[in-house]
Structures are given as C-alpha cells and as structure tokens.
Amino acid sequence: MKRIRLFAAAALILLCGAGTGFKPQKDTIRVATWNVDSGSADLSDQKEFLSGIDADIIGLQEAEEKTDRVNGVSVCDTLAEGLFRYAEFFESFPWMDANGLQKGSYGLGVLSKGVLLQDEVWTLPSDEEQDLEPRILTMNKVSYQGKFLYFYNLHLSYEDDQVRAEQLEAVNEILAENSGEYQIVTGDFNIRDLAELDALEGFQAVNTEEAPLETYHGDDWDSKCLDNILYSGNLELVEAEVCPTDTSDHDLLLAEFRFLKKAE
C-alpha cells in the first residue's frame, strides 16, 4: 500500500504576515485548521483575527457551544457570522458544571464558504479505565467550485500514545471508504513525532519533518507541530503558512491546494 509521504513537495512554506503572503488562485481551495482553545480569549478578538485569514474552509478544535466560558453562545456560529456562509458544531462530550448539570457542549467545528451537503461522525477508540477525554472524527461533504470535497476534522488524545495510535488506525480505515475522492483531514493530532502519521495511507502532510511548522505555544509537549492538514493524492499543495495569534495557545495553519484530475 502507498504510505503517507511526509514532505511539502515544491510548496513554499511561509509565515503568515511575513512578506506578501500568497494569493489564491481560481482552481484552488484554501484550508485552515485551528485549535481555538475556547474561553481563553474574547470571541470578538478571535473573530477579528479570522477576518484577516482568507480561508474557504476551516476545521476548529476545542470549540464550545453554550458554555459559561463562552457566555452561552455558539463559538462556531459567532466566528462564522459575516465571514463564512455555513457553520456546524459537533459535540465530543457535554460540558458539565460543578453540580453535574449539563451547561453546553465541547467539541469540533467547521466553517465553510462552500455548501455543506452532508455530515457524519465517528467515535474514536479510547480507554474507559483511564477515563480519557472522548474523541471523535467528523466529516462534511462540501460542494466547492463544482467539485465535491470530503473534509475531515479531528482532535486526538494526548494522554496515551497507544490510544492515539489506535485512533489513527481507525481514522485510516474510515478514510479508505472514500478512497479516490478529494479528501482533506484537518486537526490537532497531539502527536509526539510526525512519524506517527505514517499510519494514514495515501495521504501527504503539510506539516512535515523536512519542513516543520510550529503552531503550539506551550512547552509541555515533545513537539510544537501538533496541528496539521493532510491531503489525498489528487490534490496538490501550492503553499502553506502559519498565522500567529495570541487569541489561543495554538496558531492557525493555512494551506492552499490545487484540484488535480481524479483517477478514472
């Protein structure tokens, strides 16, 4: 089987805000992934940051819905308003208050300028004995420029390396169901080493050992390259950049892809 190739091809890796940046092309799509660390910053500041990011679709991690930390609003809807036509939130687990009552939800989100045609959610492997944070994989089928893109988003476990390996194996099996289609996977992978992504077959990564893109601000992990965008072989990476922000403990990762012809 074809294994993931961890390289940035001939793509130019840029730092957002440094130089002139890159300009979108008509046959391309601009994709971003961002762990928003909900509640760590004012949503208005995060929205102002996103207003300067010319992305067509964004996968969000650590989004919240109607929790006290975000003043009872929807993070996805608030960030999308006026910037993206469509927004969807997926609950990973209910957010509970000190009295054990549900006060909103915690999970993943997607903001899109293209039509979201359908969605699906899978629960990823965990370890009940360790009481780990529940993890999910989400998929949105997106209509964009007359093409259909299968857009996946995830946030993997950091607590246990073996559990994370099992999650990647499960993701690999799910991705195979739409083999041959245009596919992109965004997320906070929480990996210690980029080689962990070898588990995903037939995909290339934007964030690689050869061209690492550091997005995590913390010093409590083996790597700062936690955020990544993976893409199928019928897409070509044009350029990628890190967009720094102090509105989260993660910077945003942005990449532009060109649609290639799919195999007959």
pLDDT digits (tens, 9 = 90+) for 10-45: 444 455 654 434 444 568 999 999 999 999 999 999
Question: Which residues are within 8 A (CB) of 121 and not within 5 positions of it... i.e. 6 or more apart?
Answer: 90, 136, 137, 138, 139
Could you give the CA distance from residue 237 to residue 244 in angstroms, rounded to a whole number?
A: 21
Structure tokens at 77: 């809807």
| For range 188-212, the mean pLDDT | 96
**Which among 184, 211, 124 is positioned nearest to 160, based on CA atoms?**
124
What phi and psi, each to the nearest 5 degrees, are found at residue 117?
A: -85, -35
* Largest interatomic CA distance in the chain: 57
Q: What is the pLDDT of residue 15?
A: 52
Confidence of residue 96 (pLDDT cuts 50, 70, 90): confident
**Strand duo 147-155 + 136-144: pairing:** antiparallel
| For range 173-199, the mean pLDDT | 97
Could you give the CA distance from residue 153 to residue 32 in angstroms, rounded to a whole number?
A: 11
What mean pLDDT is reported for the chain? 90
Confidence of residue 128 (pLDDT cuts 50, 70, 90): confident
Could you give the CA distance from residue 201 to residue 176 in angstroms, rounded to a whole number?
A: 8
| For range 176-185, the mean pLDDT | 97
Contact of 174 with 208, CB cutoff 8 Å: no
68 has a pLDDT exceeding 50: yes
In this prediction the pTM is 0.90
Residue with tokens 């990628």: 240
Could you give the CA distance from residue 57 to residue 150 in angstroms, rounded to a whole number?
A: 12
Could you give the CA distance from residue 227 to residue 97 in angstroms, rounded to a whole number?
A: 29
Helix (H) or strand (E) holding 142: strand 136-144
